[in-house]
Every structure is written in C-alpha cells, then in structure tokens.
Amino acid sequence: MTEILIGSAGWSYKDWAGIVYPKPLPKGFDELAYLAQFVDCIEINSSFYRPPTAAMGEAWARRTPDRLVFTAKVWERLTHDREPFSDADAKLYLQGITPLVRAGKLGALLFQYPWSFENTPAARDRVERAADALRGWAPLAIELRHSSWLNALDFLRGLNLNFCNIDQPPSSTSITGTRIVTGPVGYVRFHGRNAKAWFAPSGRGDKYDYLYSREELRAWEEAIREMEAEKLFVILNNHFQGKGMANAFMLMRALGKERRPPPDTLRALYPDVLP
Amino acid sequence: MPTRVMHLDVDAFFASVEQLRDPRLRNKPVAVGNGVVASPSYEARARGVTTAMPLHQALRICPELIVLDGRQEVYRCFTEAIWEIGRRYAPAMETFLDEAFADFSGTEHVYPDLLDLGARIRKEVRDEVGLPITVGIAKNRMISKLAAKTVKPDGLREIREGEEEAFLLPLPIGKIAGMGPKTTELFHDMNIRTIAEFRTIPLATLVAMLGKVGASLYERARGQDSRPIHEREIPRQISRETSLEKATADRGELEGVLFYLVDRAIRAIRKMGLKTRTMRIRLRYSDGEDNETSLSFPPTAFDEDLQPLARKLLWKLYTRRVTVRFVGTGFSGFEAGDGQLELFTDESLARFHAAVDAVRDKFGHGAIVAGRAIELLNRLPHDAHGFVLRTPSLTK
C-alpha cells in the first residue's frame, strides 16, 4: 500500500511559540527535534533561499529520529534565476543535501517554479537542465503552478519528475486541487485558500493564514487514499499561527497515522478541529 | 574480505522494463507473473499488490491490474546494459538478474566518495537505460543490501564505518542475511524480534540450536559478512531433461521423473548460491508434438516450493491422451541466494537438506530421493550416479 507521510513545510516560525511550541521556549529547546516527534516528514524550505552547508545537513539528520524523512526545496538559483546556474552552483547545493542522502533521510528534492512560469520550449529546457543537475541523489519532485503544464505530464514523466499537487486559492491560470501522480513518489502541498491575501500584495504571514475545515480536508483524505504512488508526501504549508499543524493532525487522525496527541497549546487554540 | 561494497538494485524490475517498452502501460498497475505476482509496478503496489501474492488475489484487490508473463531474455538484456555502466567504475562486480554487488575495496584514492559515485551511476543508468535503481553502500554485502532496502524506490544511502551498529540494532531479525522465515518464527517465539535482542544470545547457544548456521547468524548480527564479491558466470538457464526408456502415460511415473529432474536442477542452483524465479517444463509426446510452458514466482531454492508448481505445470501441459517420451525442466531468472544459510527455513528442514546434500555428495544423487521420485526406484535402472537417464542433459 502507499506509504503516506504527513508533515510540515518548515519548522522555524516565531508565531509558533505558545501554539505548536511551548512558551516561553525552554533553554536549549530544539524546535526541529520537538516537531519531529509528531510528524512523518518535514519539508526544508530554507534550502530554497540559500544552499545549506554540510554541517547543517548533518545536524538535521542527527537531531531527528531515524524514521523521520525530509524533503528539501531546491535552491532558487537553479529554478528562478534568469542567469543559468553553473555546475558549481549545483555542487554547492548538493553539499548540504548529501548528509541527508547518506543517512537515508531525503525522500525528495522539490523544484518549485513561480506561478508565472509557463510551459514553453525554453521553460522545458530549463526544467530538464535543472533536473539533470540533481538527478541520482533523490527522487525529484516538481511544483509547477501555471495551468499550461497540465499538457506536459508526459514530458515530466519522461524526465522522471514526480508531480507536486497543490491546494491554493483557485485562479484561472493556476493549477490547484489536482491528484496527479507521474512517478513512484506522490506529493501534495497545502498552501491554504486565503484568496484575499493570496492575490494581494500583503505580508507573507497573511498569505498562509488559513485553517482548512473538516469538509475541505475530507475530500483530500479520499484523494490521498486513492493516489497511486509508492510514497506520498503530504505537506501542510499554511503555517500561520500553527494552522498547518492543526490540519496535519486532522489528516493524521483521519488516516490513522497520529503518532502522538497534538500539543495542548495547539488544541487550546483550535478546539473545534482538534477536540 | 571486501571493505567497500555497493549494492545496486533495479526497482520493480520486470514491471519497470515492461512499462519502459510499452508506453501504454505507464502509470497503470502492472504485474509480471504467472500464478503469483513476481514483480508489481509501483502503481500496483499502491493498490496493495505485493510480490508473491497469488494472482487471483491481486486481481480481486486491483481489478484493473494488467498481468504479463515474464520474458527473461528481454529482462536480461536490460540488466546487462545496467551492469555495463557499473563496470565502468567497479573493479569487480557480481551480477544477477535484478541486483548486483560491486567491490570497491582498495579504490579510496580513485573513488574517495562512493556516495557521489552512487549518485552518478544512478543518473547514468536512468539516462542511458531508462530504469530506476537504488544503491546502498557499506563495508560488506549484507549491510549494503540492507541499506538499499531502506530507501527503495529510487534511493541512495551509505552506512559509513562506525555507523553499522546504530543501523543494525533496531532492525527486525528477519533482515539478517540467511535468517529465513521459519528460523525467524523460532526466535519470535522466544520474544526475540530485533537484532539488538538477538545479540543477547551467546554464540554457544546459537551453535547448540542451529549448528554452523547459528555461528554465521551470530557474526551477521554483528555486521560481519566476509563473503567476497567476484565476477562469476551466472548461467542463463539450468536445465535437466531426459528421454524415457519407454514412453508412458502413467501420471505417477511422469510426476516422478519430473520431480527427480527438478531435484537435480535445484541442487545445482543451490550449489551456485542462487535462487530462481522461473521454471519451464517441456514434454514431447510419442507422436513428436512438443509442448512447453513456464511459470514465474518469488525467488526460491527450495524443493518444497517448486514441487507443487512443477506438478501444476505438468498437468497444465499434459492434456492429450498420448504417451510422453521426453520430459524436461529448466530454471532461469537467477538472483543471489543469501548464502547457504538462506536454505535453512527451519531447523529440522535445514538439517534435512544439509544431510541430504552431504549424503548425495558422498554416495551419489540416487542415495536419497525425495517424495514421488521414490516411485521411480522400482521402475528405472540406476547406478551410483542416480537414475540412468536416456540422454544426459547439460547446464546451458
């Protein structure tokens, strides 16, 4: 059966103090180690902004239980920059990722492209080049938001790229709510449906300020059960005030995967969804 | 004794090849097998189809399952292409149908970083052959294979010097190379479930329980595995066939001949430290008509697994009211056995096999013959080498 891994995008959020994490934080409190107790997987987001160092990769592997699997966003240098990346750039990124691979704890590398990145021959070349640079280290997943990529699934399969489905506020050009699987690894990212903040130039925190209701998650529960992948990563990115973690616990309960009860502080803030 | 070993394992091998060759099968649940599932695609696995599951059960839980017969020669072509890529780098490789071991001992100056090399090989195999492989790296065969198993599919992992203990201790005892299902059950009855728990049993106790096998399990549980990796010729097929002195339609006699031939072939397979996945049976009728059929199954080297399958194939094949004058069996689709230990699925069965083989070595194959083949003792002449067969057959 499909191995379903549910977890959080990132772990280092100031507004999680007193909600997901205790408040005040005890001296020497390790947020990553604490979060890892509750989830199956954690998506590393900081690797998008800068390549991690080998020491960081080693620390992440060491601070988490053996069973905990990471996915890691690919450095934006390889996906977003107009200037083509160099082999040295790819190598630099891999240095930080390698300790996780060695430890058997890297479940996927996630290429994330901007919503405006359309399916064109030049775009496909860029995707192919980026995939080629990191191929062999871990299963490769790809998040493409522009709807034109729905016509390129065979292209993605041909590159052994595992499609990352997203849930976000609907729009005419963005892919959302799909349940596509193009390889042995399935991926779903929940961004929340805060349409007002999503499409407006407001603060980052508001964009991910959304708590999915039971009904909204029920449809996804069914989809998650039916997606035909060998491993399926389900990542909650609606992190504002720990809402993503509340939704993560709801999904874990519904799918029979709850490892431990949620922190009391999280239940206190979201009593309707976490009785 | 090797010190740096890379294990390469093709993911969902037979199914992956079929999906690569026929794009219409991609993203569909596919299983290669005949009678039982030999290789399910990841889509089929997602639906709960597993290796060794009877096909009727697989179709019940996944009615859309596309079932294909195995095509050994096709699969062999693909793996030979993969192993050629490995040979660009590895000084020595031991290859099987869907897995291989590469020995990089003494190459630290050439390949200081085997993880990097593993990634490179995985990429080249994907780019050039189109198939996904998982790579495990460790100091010996057993640990490198276990490392790979933990990160399948499409995985890469290295257990470095000094990390072996932390890796092995929490693992279930069934993961110890050579620990078969019945021996595992024996220890489960003693509430020994993890390698950490198994290691509390003294060597003397294990030897008393299981003899030489116990001593080997003791070492393997401590991460020691001195089996070398060496190039060797793995045959495409091992077959045994015979014409019958007198053509017959007697079911008992035909089964007896077939079991005897299976016995001899499987003994050769065990001696080479292999397991097999495909059996072929051939009959020639007295009027010259030739029929043949084959079956794929999960890897095994046990008569007990193969005899019922051989019987099933024989009765599927023998459908005419005409006497038979030739019987043959052939095995292919070999993979690494886990050493002789793998044969010992329970203590008495293990000792039985070991004793039978030892007697046969000393007194000839006819000295002890199992099961239905005993019927032949009364019907065919035999000499010190076993039954006198009309035509000797050779391993191809």
Token digits of residue A79? 């996906």
Helices (H), chain A: 31-36, 46-49, 54-62, 76-79, 87-102, 121-134, 153-158, 195-198, 204-207, 214-226, 243-254, 264-269
Helix (H, G, I), strand (E, B) or coil at A143: strand
Whether residues B265 and B366 share a domain: the answer is yes
Query: Closest Cα of chain B to A60: distance in Å?
Result: 16
Q: What is the pLDDT of residues A172-192, one digit of tens each?
A: 889 999 999 999 999 999 999
Contact: B27, A182; criterion CB under 8 Å? yes
- Pick B307 or A61 by higher pLDDT: A61
**Which ipTM did the prediction report?**
0.92
Whether residues B267 and B346 share a domain: the answer is yes
DSSP conformation class of B19: H
pLDDT number for residue A7: 98
By DSSP bridging, strand A231-236 and strand A185-190 are parallel
B289 is annotated as an active-site residue: no
pTM score over 0.90: no
Residue B144 has pLDDT above 50, yes or no: yes
Q: Out of A70-84, A254-268, B50-64, B229-243, pick the least confident.
A: B229-243
Neighboring chain A residues of B8 at a CB cutoff of 8 Å: none
Whether residues B148 and B176 share a domain: the answer is no
Contact: A1, B45; criterion CB under 8 Å? yes
In a domain, B226, yes or no: no
- Please count the structural domains in chain B: 3
User: Helix crossing, A243-254 with A214-226: angle to 10°?
Assistant: 50
Q: Of B103, B130, B158, at which residue does a domain stop?
A: B158
Contact: B154, A98; criterion CB under 8 Å? no
Which residues form the domain of B190?
169-221
Contact: A182, B151; criterion CB under 8 Å? no
Whether residues B207 and B312 share a domain: the answer is no
Chain mean pLDDT for chain A: 95
Whether residues B191 and B144 share a domain: the answer is no
Q: For residues A93 and A80, what is the distance between their CA atoms, to the nearest angstrom? A: 15
Whether residues B126 and B38 share a domain: the answer is yes
Residues 6+ apart with CB under 8 A from A144: A113, A117, A119, A163, A164, A175
Neighboring chain A residues of B48 at a CB cutoff of 8 Å: 1
Q: Tokens 């005892």 belong to which residue?
A: B173
Q: Find the CATH number of the domain harbouring B101.
A: 3.30.70.270
B388 at A interface, C-beta within 8 A: no
Whether residues B259 and B375 share a domain: the answer is yes
Query: Closest Cα of chain A to B78: distance in Å?
Result: 18
B31 at A interface, C-beta within 8 A: no
A174 at B interface, C-beta within 8 A: no
pLDDT number for residue A219: 93
Q: What is the pLDDT of residues A99-121, one digit of tens each?
A: 999 999 999 999 999 989 999 99
- Pick A2 or B354 by higher pLDDT: A2
Chain mean pLDDT for chain B: 85
Helix (H, G, I), strand (E, B) or coil at B256: helix
Q: Find the CATH number of the domain harbouring B284.
A: 3.30.1490.100
Q: For residues A157 and B156, what is the distance between their CA atoms, to the nearest angstrom? A: 20
Contact: A136, B126; criterion CB under 8 Å? yes
Residue B396 has pLDDT above 50, yes or no: no
Q: Is A63 exposed, middle or buried (0-12, 13-18, 19+ CB in 10 A)?
A: middle
In a domain, B275, yes or no: yes
Contact: B115, A98; criterion CB under 8 Å? yes
Whether residues B178 and B92 share a domain: the answer is no
Q: Are B177 and B341 in contact (CB under 8 A)?
A: yes
Whether residues B198 and B264 share a domain: the answer is no
Query: Closest Cα of chain A to B47: distance in Å?
Result: 6
In a domain, B61, yes or no: yes
Closest CA to A156 of A173, A175, A169: A175
Other Cβ atoms closer than 10 A to A32:
16
Neighboring chain A residues of B115 at a CB cutoff of 8 Å: 98, 101-102
Q: What is the pLDDT of residues B318-374, one digit of tens each?
A: 999 999 999 999 998 888 876 544 444 455 555 555 555 665 566 566 554 444 454
Per-residue CA distances from B159 to B40, B153, B339 (Å)? 28, 18, 22
Neighboring chain B residues of A66 at a CB cutoff of 8 Å: 170
Neighboring chain B residues of A228 at a CB cutoff of 8 Å: 27, 29, 42-43, 46-47
What chain A holds in terms of domains, given with CATH numbers, is: 3-269 (3.20.20.410)
Other Cβ atoms closer than 10 A to B108:
12
In a domain, B55, yes or no: yes
CB-nearest to A139 from B115, B121, B154 is B154
The predicted model gives B222-238 an average pLDDT of: 85
Q: Find the CATH number of the domain harbouring B196.
A: 1.10.150.20
CB-nearest to A229 from B42, B150, B155 is B42
A66 at B interface, C-beta within 8 A: yes
Neighboring chain A residues of B43 at a CB cutoff of 8 Å: 181, 228
Choose, from B99, B255, B342, B375, the residue flagged as catalytic.
B99
Query: Closest Cα of chain A to B147: distance in Å?
Result: 8
Per-residue CA distances from B186 to B173, B189, B220 (Å)? 11, 5, 18
Token digits of residue B60? 């019940």
Whether residues B126 and B152 share a domain: the answer is yes
CB-nearest to B46 from A98, A132, A228 is A228
CB-nearest to A228 from B43, B115, B120 is B43
Preferred mutation among A101, A128, A231 to probe B, highest tally of B CBs within 10 A: A101
In a domain, B227, yes or no: no
Whether residues B215 and B301 share a domain: the answer is no
Q: Quick one: pLDDT band at residue B299, thresholds 50, 70, 90? A: confident
Query: Closest Cα of chain B to A132: distance in Å?
Result: 8
Query: Closest Cα of chain A to B175: distance in Å?
Result: 17
- Give the bridge partners for B278, in sequence order: B296, B332
Q: What is the pLDDT of residues A21-40, one digit of tens each?
A: 998 989 999 999 999 999 99
Neighboring chain B residues of A184 at a CB cutoff of 8 Å: 11, 42, 132, 153-154
Q: What is the pLDDT of residues A198-212, one digit of tens each?
A: 887 665 558 999 999
